[in-house]
Structure 1
Amino acid sequence: MTQRTDVVVIGGGQSGLAAGYHLRRLGIEHVILDAAAAPGGAWQHAWESLRLFSPAQYSSLPGRLMPVQPGETYPDAAHVVSYLADYEKRYELPVRREVWVEAVHRDGAHLRVETDCGDWQARAVISATGTWTRPFLPAVPGSRDFTGRQLHTVQYRSPAAFTGQRVIVVGGGNSGAQIAADLARADVHLTWATQRLPRYLADDIDGRALFDHATARRRALDDGRTDTGGVASLGDIVAVPPVRAARDAGRLTAEPMFARLTATGVEWSDGSQTEADVVIWCTGFRPALAHFASLRLRGTRGHITTLGTRAVDEPRLHLLGYGDWTGPASATLIGVGRPAREAAREIAELLRA
């Protein structure tokens, strides 16, 4: 039996909750379908030492400030999970859990959302599935030859699992730096490999400044002014306290990217080799958009062309929280509120038409 509602939101993490908040404020009937068994989105799967880039008050969803975590300037992932669970309950958001969306189809004046628990028919869909379920692993020569373990960021939890082992961390972004810093303080023989020298943001820059910079860039582009270069122009790594401490202590030194994997480790461009038990790939993610395959909307780099959050080739579809291409800083807690509000307003206009 097909169920009906005005809007189906796919994904119950931070972006899906922000969308639900604004839809609720506008009195729009909706349902939020989440594949996870519990609240918290991707934060519930993060490594133990992960910290936000900003203080709690600058890491909040619309309508509800994140409480300060006692003794912490930058809240940890567990605190974020608690906040999201409370947010969902406080606003009585209609989340249905352990529902896996398999596909979205055009169905006349509606979109049909096919799930493993039955179908939904809606006049609009907001996709907020994020990227966590689509880790990216680069094609590196010798990757099939390596006999040790290869992990991605999504599988890392704590240094305890690597005591006494030789670990190579690959990636010069925030995840690579934070995981390398985490391992650097433990009984681990660490090698950190990056494509280019690590680019740290100034120590006094955190998520607040990054959000402001991303917003200013979007406004400049919208006004036809010169591109400021966005957050990437400032650097690749936010120097959160653990990263700063490891860097300043000389425990966080990056090596140029290796040329290939061998059976027992890696080979560098000069022919020298380093033995390794584990390689941890901190090499980013791709948007989780497989459920839109039947709509044939995918463009370059797996993205769907959007105007704001709205899909250009399917105006009943909005994408939220995948990165700057769906709103400035929209993949962050503080940044997703504005594009979520804009998406809800556009949908309200669609429903009135």
Structure 2
Amino acid sequence: MNLDKSTTSVNLLKEEKNQPEIFYKVDIVVIGAGQAGLSAAYHLQKQGLKSGKGFVVLDDEFESGGAWQHRWDSLTLSTVNGINDLPGMHFSDVMQTEDLELQANIAVPKYYEYYEKKFNLPIIRPIRVIEVTERKNRFLIRTNGIQFSARGVINATGTWKTPHCPRYSGWEKFKGRQLHTGEYKNAEEFIGKHVIVVGGGISAVQLLGEISTVTETTWVTRRQPDFRDYEFTPELGREAVAMVDKRVREGLPPNSVVSVTGLPITPAIKEMLDKGILERKPMFDEIIETGVRWADGTTLKADVIFWNTGFRHSLDHLKSLKLTNEKGGIEMTGKLATQVAKDPRIHLTGYGPSASTIGANRAGRAAVKELMEVLKL
């Protein structure tokens, strides 16, 4: 990989010595090598940008697979919501899709690894982007390894690395175990323990159903679950995406998917409703040593509090660019709302309407086209 060294733009104190920082010049840096990042890399290469000098992909994982490699063990090809083909290569070209019991956290990373090798994508890993700043019309990408200077940035970091756990009063007092969706592996680790499952999204419902087959569970949500007896069609999917698209173009934070679509009553959910597994309790007010307590003084003993309370977009490394507005969102523009209105040299793929596998694919293509037009590449 050929990288041009540049020491002319920045001179900062480093290790208490007046030494220049060395930045490697590229046209575009892609941050993240999940579905959106790989899609962007494919289209950058297809448009003629050379690996190394034209663009690089920075990934903070040790291996291929993005967030898929961290999914729970019971998520198989038969239960996953969908695995969308990356551009230029079908999933079935690499994996035998008729084996529906293959673990998604094994099958998808293998697919991604094969994809990266086939197209010889310039992915550097493991490397963590710490901060992106701007100086003299270029972006300085500071990492825990090689430093980069770029004309444009495609951020494809997703959400998996920033789980959201609301810190209720008494959090630190609880003597049992607390974990988030991102830490879950399988239900067997909870056998013989009373598990409080917190959250009203589809992951909470799926994992509640799984855990309830091996131990006692209690389901807790902030709002009454929005069960909807309908088939989730492509038309409804497009409608949901359009609503999120509208929000981010107005500079509002993106809503969760379930807030738009509700919880469709699938055969599995119907069975759980019939068995009483989905008898929900309102959100507790306080965590105590042995469990939780509601405002009326009612308490419930528990061994585990399992937070299925979603994720936040992993954008902390972009804070210095001050993209977030007073509404708490980032105003987006462009064909698929991937382009930051405040600075069209920055694209966020996997943010807002592109936060899905199929959305990430399309977003990668649109972001590359629009960014190359802005940079006149």
Q: Which band: TM-score by shorter chain?
A: 0.7 to 0.9
Alignment correspondent of 1:2: 23
Residue correspondences, number: 339
Are 1:236 and 2:262 counterparts? yes
Instruction: Provide closer, same or farther for how the CA distance between residues 74 and 101 of structure 1 changes in structure 2, counting only shifts above 3 A.
Output: same
Deviations 1:88-135 (A, max 9, x none): 223222111111111112121321111111211111011111111111
Alignment correspondent of 1:313: 342
Structure 1 gaps of 5+ residues are: none
The 1-side partners of 2:294 and 2:209 are apart by 22
The 2-side partners of 1:220 and 1:106 are apart by 29
The 2-side partners of 1:294 and 1:23 are apart by 26
The 1-side partners of 2:122 and 2:266 are apart by 35
Instruction: Provide closer, same or farther for how the CA distance between residues 95 and 239 of structure 1 changes in structure 2, counting only shifts above 3 A.
Output: farther
**SS state at 1:6 partner:** strand
Are 1:63 and 2:88 counterparts? yes
Confirm or deny: 8 A CA contact 1:177 1:237 kept in the other structure: no
**SS state at 1:49 partner:** coil
- Counterpart residue type for residue 192 of structure 1: W
The 1-side partners of 2:191 and 2:158 are apart by 32
The 1-side partners of 2:275 and 2:102 are apart by 21
- Which residue, out of 106, 110, 120, partners 2:138? 110
* Identical-residue share of aligned pairs (%): 37
- Which residue, out of 217, 222, 246, partners 1:190? 217
Deviations 1:279-317 (A, max 9, x none): 011111111111112222223575433222122222211
Give how far 1:265 is off: 0.6
Confirm or deny: 8 A CA contact 2:231 2:264 kept in the other structure: no
Are 1:172 and 2:193 counterparts? no
**SS state at 1:4 partner:** strand
Deviations 1:141-199 (A, max 9, x none): 2222222111111111111111100110100001211111110111x111111112222
- Counterpart residue type for residue 199 of structure 1: D
Q: Counterparts of 1:332-347 in structure 2 under 5 Å?
A: 332-347=356-371
Alignment correspondent of 1:214: 240
Are 1:158 and 2:207 counterparts? no
- Which residue, out of 355, 359, 369, partners 1:331? 355
Structure 2 gaps of 5+ residues are: 1-21
- Which residue, out of 295, 319, 329, partners 1:293? 319
- Which residue, out of 8, 31, 40, partners 2:56? 31
**SS state at 1:120 partner:** strand
Are 1:133 and 2:181 counterparts? no
**SS state at 1:197 partner:** coil
- Counterpart residue type for residue 36 of structure 1: E
**Bigger CA radius of gyration:** 2
Alignment correspondent of 2:375: 351
- Which residue, out of 105, 108, 124, partners 1:80? 108
**SS state at 2:372 partner:** helix
Confirm or deny: 8 A CA contact 2:31 2:37 kept in the other structure: yes
The 1-side partners of 2:73 and 2:221 are apart by 23
The 2-side partners of 1:71 and 1:119 are apart by 43
The 1-side partners of 2:171 and 2:120 are apart by 47
Structural RMSD (CA):
2.9
**SS state at 2:89 partner:** coil
- Normalising by the residue count of structure 2, what TM-score does the alignment of the two structures yield? 0.81
**SS state at 1:334 partner:** helix
Deviations 1:55-96 (A, max 9, x none): x5xx22333333263243998343322322232223222111
Alignment correspondent of 2:4: none
The 2-side partners of 1:211 and 1:74 are apart by 26
Instruction: Provide closer, same or farther for how the CA distance between residues 99 and 16 of structure 1 changes in structure 2, counting only shifts above 3 A.
Output: same
